Amino acid sequence: MQAYAPLIKLLKKAVEEQQHALNSSLPKEMYEPMSYIIGLGGKRVRPLLTLIGCDLFGADPQEAIFSALAVELFHNFSLMHDDVLDKAPLRRGSTTVHEKWSENIALLSGDGLLVKSYQALNKSNPVKVPELLKLFSKTAVEVCEGQQMDMNFETWDKVSIENYIEMITNKTAVLLGCSLGMGAICANASAMQQEHVYEFGKHVGIAFQILDDVLDVYADDQKFGKQVGGDIIANKKTFLLLGAYELANESETKELDHLFYSQEILHSEKIKQVTAIYNQTHVKELAINEANKHTDIALKHLGELEADISKKNNLKTFALDLLKREA
């Protein structure tokens, strides 16, 4: 997005400097994987939000650069460990750290990355450190809790939509809120304004995750980076699956149960049949309604921000673009 080009440039430089520092640190067995996972890139939405949050309240985004770095390092730590937990072979199309090196390396290097995120944060203005640290650590705990809930769901028979929203709020959404909130703290925004920008980010995050579940099933095969229906094959308890169970009649429930537990069915067939039930139950519409609900809450909080109107509009456009993608 053109309006954010200067922030993106600032961020790019800081991330490159961080990588350079990691590349020259020893023992390399611990530091190389850190640099590797950061180098896989991604859109760096979270640290960008931190700079945006600072800029929004009229401060020099440079004030928030170490908070932005902390958020990016933390996010990469969580990816490195989540990939171990999920035994994921690929991350952003590349081999995961534990596959490329080992689980032990991913464990220890991830630990180091988490500590590095706190070191980055501590380069901020000392007066701001306790407040930043408070929001950052609270969020970090919630992300761990969200990951644990997600793991718990694998063995739960009955997961409600409410449970699911709580899980994605912790696992994904609060870090978006925190990213913006830390920027607001760096810009000396009031507690109330911090709260609004945090809630904006959080609800965008919830909407994003729900739409991500929709995308997994309904994306355009050609434009989607990964396999359509991947969540169905992995038996993941997504919004669509949980919603479909809530909407299904008796025979649809039976069919879902059968498809969910069947070991024999072909992947392509399973995707086709589960998608058919999703269509019958109109769960896609339920999901989109739920996502819209959270988008609306987010926009309400955006409306409460005492900031330059053009900056607010830029943030709105940025968030809505994030939510649109290829769904």
What residues line the site for its own copies (CB under 8 A)? 26-27, 29-30, 81, 84-85, 103-104, 107-108, 110-112, 114-116, 118-119, 122, 126, 129-130, 133-134, 137-138, 140-141, 144-145, 147-149, 151-152
Please state the closest distance from residue 65 (CB atom) to its own copies, in A.
Answer: 17
Is 169 strand, coil or helix? helix
Helices within 87-190 (DSSP H only): 97-100, 103-121, 129-153, 161-168, 174-186
From residue 266, give the alpha-carbon distance in Å to each of 225, 232, 257, 270: 22, 12, 16, 6
C-beta separation of 114 from 167 below 8 A: no
Q: How far is the CB of 197 from its own copies (least distance, A)?
A: 21
- Tell me how far apart the alpha carbons of residues 249 and 282 are, in angstroms, rounded to a whole number: 12
CB of 69 to its own copies, least distance (A): 14
Nearest approach, Cβ of 26 to its own copies (angstroms)?
8
Query: In a 3-state reduction of DSSP, which class is residue 95?
Result: strand
3-state secondary structure of 90: strand
Q: How far is the CB of 147 from its own copies (least distance, A)?
A: 6
30/271 with CB nearer its own copies: 30
Query: By C-beta, is 101 or 198 nearer to its own copies?
Result: 101
Burial profile 290-301: b = 16 or more Cβ within 10 angstroms, e = fewer: bbeebbebbeeb
Q: Are 77 and 106 in contact (CB under 8 A)?
A: no
Instruction: Give the nearest distance from C-beta 246 to its own copies in angstroms.
Output: 23
Helices (H) and strands (E) in the chain, counts: 16, 2
Nearer to its own copies, 144 or 322 (CB): 144
Between 51 and 70, CB nearer to its own copies: 70
131 versus 304: smaller Cβ distance to its own copies? 131
Cα dihedral 207, 43, 229, 99 sign: negative
Taking the complex as a whole, the smallest distance from the CB of residue 119 to its own copies amounts, in Å, to 5
Cα 70 from Cα 134, distance rounded (Å): 13
To which residue do tokens 């689980």 refer? 103
Q: What one-character DSSP code corresponds to residue 58?
A: T
Contact between 10 and 62 under an 8 Å Cβ cutoff? The reply is: yes
**Cβ distance to its own copies smaller for residue 46 or 116:** 116
Q: Which is nearer to its own copies, 93 or 126 (CB)?
A: 126
Nearer to its own copies, 115 or 276 (CB): 115
Q: How many residues does the chain have?
A: 327
Give least dist CB 116 to its own copies, A: 7
